[in-house]
Structure 1
Amino acid sequence: MPEIKTSFTRQRKYMFFLLSIYVLGWGFTSYQSIFLGLILGTALSLFNLWLIVRKTTQFGEAVANGKKVRSLGTMTRMASAALAIIITLEYPEAFHLISVVLGLMTSYIVIMIDFFLQSFHLRRKREER
């Protein structure tokens, strides 16, 4: 399982980088509700990413030890997305709904980009040999 932790560390750095850009956008532009929505969605997306890594690690350990596995936390991740939408609908003047939804998808986009970057990097290493 060290690969998943290494990937998570890389992806977490990307997510924090995006969050810092969103905070700068919130502070220095007139699109505050859009950037606040991106911040909310991306923060919960980062939480969901951490949760799936944690549950996957627990799943791997349980399988290796021959124990039963309950769940990978799908309901928890759905509940956090529902929480983001509820907050957005409660405070529509502060949060932009589409930005929150895009923020919630950020971790999946980051995972795909990271996968392609790592695949490209590994391919270049193999060609150099």
Structure 2
Amino acid sequence: MQTYQHMIARQRKWMFYLLALFVLGWGVTPWPSIFLGLLLGSALSFYNLWLMQRKIRMLGEASAENRKVGGIGTFTRLASGALAVVIALQFEENFHLISVVLGLMAAYIVILIDYLFHKSTV
């Protein structure tokens, strides 16, 4: 369980770094709509990451105690992705839609990179 907690902390840290990078890109580059779209998608992706990690922890605890648990929040994660797209379509002048979709995938990219960097240490 300790290894899982370290993994969660690493992934959240890298998501914060990525969000900070997108804020800087929004503020200093000539492409504010692209970085604002990445920021919106990544912020909701960070929420999805937090939700998924919490549900997986609860699932692990329930299986250790031989209890049943509900779902792992797939519908909620899909709904937050739909929310991001609706916001981007509502405010098209501020958000680049493709950037929002790419930002929604940010957490999964962070998970993949974290796995690739730390699989040799396990």
TM > 0.5 between the two?
yes
Q: Which residue of 2 aligns with 1:127?
A: none
Structure 1 residue aligned with 2:115: 115
Residue 30 of structure 1 pairs with residue 56 of structure 2: no
| Structure-1 separation of matches of 2:21 and 2:90 | 25
SS at match of 2:70: coil
Q: Partners of 1:104 and 1:82 in 2: how far apart?
A: 10
* TM-score w.r.t. length of structure 2: 0.95
1:44·1:80 contact (CA, 8 Å) conserved in 2? Answer: yes
How much does 1:97 deviate? 0.5
1:20 to 2:20 alignment: yes
Matches within 5 A, 1:73-112: 73-112=73-112
Identity of aligned residues (%): 55
Aligned length: 122
TM-score by length of 1: 0.90
- AA matched with 2:76: T
Q: Shift of the alpha carbon at 1:22? A: 0.7
Q: What stretches of structure 1 move > 4 A for 4+ residues in a row? A: none
Counterpart residue number, 1:126: none
Matches within 5 A, 1:2-17: 2-17=2-17
Report Cα offsets for 1:62-101 as digits up to 9, x if no partner.
1111211110000000000000000001011010001001
CA distance in 2, matches of 1:2, 1:78: 29
1:67 has 2:67 as partner: yes
| Amino acid corresponding to residue 117 of structure 1 in structure 2 | F
The root-mean-square deviation of aligned C-alpha atoms, in Å, is: 1.1
Letter in 2 for 1:42: S
Structure 1: segments with no counterpart, 5+ residues:
124-129
Structure 2 SS opposite 1:93: coil
The corresponding residue for 1:57 is 57
Report the CA distance between 1:48 and its aligned residue: 0.4
How far is 1:110 from its partner?
0.7
Greater CA radius of gyration, 1 or 2?
Answer: 1
- Give 3-state SS (helix, strand or coil) of 1:69's partner: coil
